[in-house]
Amino acid sequence: MADLRTSLAAFHAGHGADAWRSLGCHQENVSGRMGFRFAVWAPAAALVAVVGDFGAWQPQPMAPDQRGVWHLFVADAVPGQHYKFLVHHRDGSIHEKSDPFGQAAELRPKTASLTLAPSTFAWDDAEWMQGRAARQQREAPLAIYEVHLGSWLRHLDGRPYTYREVAPRLIEHVHRLGFTHVEFLPLAEFPYDPSWGYQVTGYFAVTSRYGTPDDLRFLVNALHKADIGVLLDWVPAHFPRDGHGLGRFDGTPLFEHPDPQRGEHPDWGTYIFNYGRPEVRSFLLASAHFWLTEFHFDGFRADAVASMLYLDYSRGPGQWKPNRHGGTYNLEAISFLQDFNDMVRKSCPGAITIAEESTAFVKVTGSRIEGGLGFTYKWNMGWMHDTLRYFAEDPIFRQHHHTVLTFPSVYAHAEAHVLPLSHDEVVHLKGSLVRKMGGWWADGIAQMRLLFGHQWTHPGKKLLFMGQEMAQDSEWNFDTQIAWQALQDPQRVQLMTWLAALNRLYRAHPALHAGDCEDKGFRWVEGGDARHSILVFERLAAGRAVVVVLHYTPEVLLQHWLPMPLEGHYRVLLTSDTVEFGGDPQPGTAAAGDCLEASEDWGRPYLRTDVAAYAVLILERV
């Protein structure tokens, strides 16, 4: 009982990262009788009762404490039973609510929570967990394969694979491609499939679409044993208005901010959390801690962080109120995000956090001491937009847009970045990545090789959404599997072989990953050759360097003079212009393992070689 009081005191104080252990539904033995203890926070409710299978759905009134937490022990409740809370508002209305801290839920469109016995799953990923901090430090390689589990692979009858069924197939595919991590779109319970999981009603409940909580533990454990990290999309920015969810939970704006200008999202029609309320902060901190602790996730990608930071986000004049300093920042949300990152770092060593943040907010990845938010990484949305804008240009005219290609280097190290080619770029009529390539359709696969080479050699960690590794023609559809049939095309298989080769080199060579987050990890050799649409730069780390040559047009440049940083011999580590990767090598083009000599002409070192169309050439000085 003392532990319960301590946990609830922390919950009310705003630092209750363990609140999920005391609130919600938990199996207990009370005076020799097994049952379930229910606890729910509803301070403005006139009455709260629990109903469920265990009592023939007859209301069983709960007793409130002085801080508005209602309690009841039900002696005849057993695991696997459905239940809801009947919350009586002070206006006399009665509302059926799911358990905000419930750890299991029935399959949509049904909305009941489920009683759940303590997990007996036997984890055996100790080797991964003990080495996680080293594997996930900023100097380590990080290449993320982003997955929407419901549409990655489906049975012939259209059913998505379960957590257990998908494990061996996903592991095989990720190993084939060479990614270090998988990132799942949200797996917390949500009612509306087209939201892809981003409108959450069960912040502690594993979505029942793909199996049980222990089934998800099986998947994470299997990925860890295969040396694959696992990240989870987490949604602290907003929640839906569904009647069984968090909205107006006790008849008042309990979880959402009471001011509509701060508590309602104009774009998504959802509620915004009240980050200044201690119990709401505890609720969100506890949710994050729950997924890290109970499911061994290795970190989060926090969704829609930009919408949290600004009071005027998507609002016009007169639709928002300034903060106490007269500014646009949501100071409570900023403080919460700092607390969130502090909690993750202290309670789960080695876990990482990634912010989807699209503005010029300063020090998203800076420490709290220096005024930063404390994230490990930030999505580099500017790089993504500039890159896709450039690749959409007809290659004939790319020379006139050269600065679009080079500008991202200016801010590449303003934060510790992840370079995302994510689900958001291949949905809502945006088309697949291969359909974004300018010029001739016949050059689409070759340009995809170049796009991946551009991404994997640019400073920053890597993220690619599923289906794009095989250049599927159609944009992503959450309601069907990705275009596995595309692999009947040898060109798509060759593209995947190229991506795997990039990942192998990225992981093996320190120069391509150890300096991702440091300005000294990148140096221009030639960034101004707009006429030929060529970039030459160095990646450097730990006393080693590679030289990267990228050519963005279909023109074959015969015996082209390529500037190099130093005179001497350069060995070809990787080139896209090989038959294995779908290239069409000519006698004058370099092959992997070839050694090319750079000598000084006109006051700087050059080497001469044929440069293929849409070529990627990675060299190391011998």
DSSP annotation string for 249-304: TTSS-SSB-SSHHHHB-TTTS-B-B-TTSHHHHHHHHHHHHHHHHHH---EEEETT
Spatial distance between the Cα atoms of 377 and 181, rounded to a whole number of angstroms: 15
Q: Please choose, from the candidates 466, 471, 464, the residue with its C-alpha nearest in 3D space to the C-alpha of residue 488.
A: 471
Check pLDDT > 80 for residue 500. Answer: yes
Q: Please choose, from the candidates 267, 275, 208, 206, the residue with its C-alpha nearest in 3D space to the C-alpha of residue 236.
A: 275
Residue 373 CB contacts under 8 Å (≥ 6 apart), including other chains:
305, 334, 337, 338, 341, 355, 361, 363, 364, 365, 366
Q: List the beta bridge partners of residue 310.
A: 329
Q: What is the pLDDT of residue 590?
A: 84
Q: What is the pLDDT of residue 601?
A: 83
Spatial distance between the Cα atoms of 208 and 380, rounded to a whole number of angstroms: 33
**pLDDT, tens digit, 9 for 90 and up, residues 558-598:** 999 999 999 999 999 999 999 999 988 887 788 888 899 99
What value does the mean pLDDT take over residues 49-70? 95
What value does the mean pLDDT take over residues 48-64? 96
Cβ–Cβ < 8 Å for 619, 572: yes
Cβ–Cβ < 8 Å for 58, 82: no
In the sheet with 24-30, reading across from the earlier edge strand, the strands are 24-30, 33-41, 69-74, 63-64
Spatial distance between the Cα atoms of 345 and 332, rounded to a whole number of angstroms: 20
- How many Å separate Cα 299 from the centre of its chain? 9
Torsion angles phi and psi, residue 587, rounded to 5: -55, -30
Structure tokens at 364: 């998203």
**pLDDT, tens digit, 9 for 90 and up, residues 75-133:** 989 999 999 999 999 999 999 999 999 999 999 999 999 999 999 999 999 999 999 99
Q: Please choose, from the candidates 426, 310, 416, 412, the residue with its C-alpha nearest in 3D space to the C-alpha of residue 354.
A: 416
Q: What is the pLDDT of residue 3?
A: 77
Q: How confident is residue 2, by pLDDT bands cut at 50, 70 and 90?
A: low
What value does the mean pLDDT take over residues 307-330? 94
**pLDDT, tens digit, 9 for 90 and up, residues 143-189:** 999 999 999 999 999 999 999 999 999 999 999 999 999 999 999 99
**pLDDT, tens digit, 9 for 90 and up, residues 215-249:** 999 999 999 999 999 999 999 999 999 999 999 99
Sorted by where each begins, the domain ranges of the chain are 1-117+187-224+245-299+316-355, 520-621
Residue 54 CB contacts under 8 Å (≥ 6 apart), including other chains:
36, 74, 76, 77, 78, 81, 83, 115
**pLDDT, tens digit, 9 for 90 and up, residues 253-297:** 999 999 999 999 998 999 999 999 999 999 999 999 999 999 999
Check pLDDT > 80 for residue 615. Answer: yes
Residues labelled catalytic: 303, 356
Burial class (CB in 10 A: 0-12, 13-18, 19+), 368: middle
CATH number of 520-621: 2.60.40.1180
Torsion angles phi and psi, residue 190, rounded to 5: -145, 150
**pLDDT, tens digit, 9 for 90 and up, residues 361-405:** 999 999 999 999 999 999 999 999 999 999 999 999 999 999 999
Which helix (H) or strand (E) is 550 found in, with range? strand 544-551
Per the prediction, the chain carries an average pLDDT of 95
Spatial distance between the Cα atoms of 582 and 494, rounded to a whole number of angstroms: 6
Q: Do domains 1-117+187-224+245-299+316-355 and 520-621 have the same CATH topology?
A: yes
Topology (CATH level 3) of domain 1-117+187-224+245-299+316-355: Immunoglobulin-like (2.60.40)
Residue 319: CB atoms within 10 Å? 12
Cβ–Cβ < 8 Å for 511, 497: no
**pLDDT, tens digit, 9 for 90 and up, residues 397-433:** 999 999 999 999 999 899 999 999 999 999 988 999 9
Check pLDDT > 80 for residue 1. Answer: no
Cβ–Cβ < 8 Å for 305, 329: no
Could you tell me the maximum CA-CA distance found in the chain, to the nearest angstrom?
Answer: 90
Spatial distance between the Cα atoms of 366 and 381, rounded to a whole number of angstroms: 17
The conformation of residue 103, written as its DSSP 8-state character, comes to S
> Distances in Å between the alpha carbon of 101 and those of 184, 201, 392, 440, 472?
21, 10, 46, 53, 39
Q: List the beta bridge partners of residue 33.
A: 30
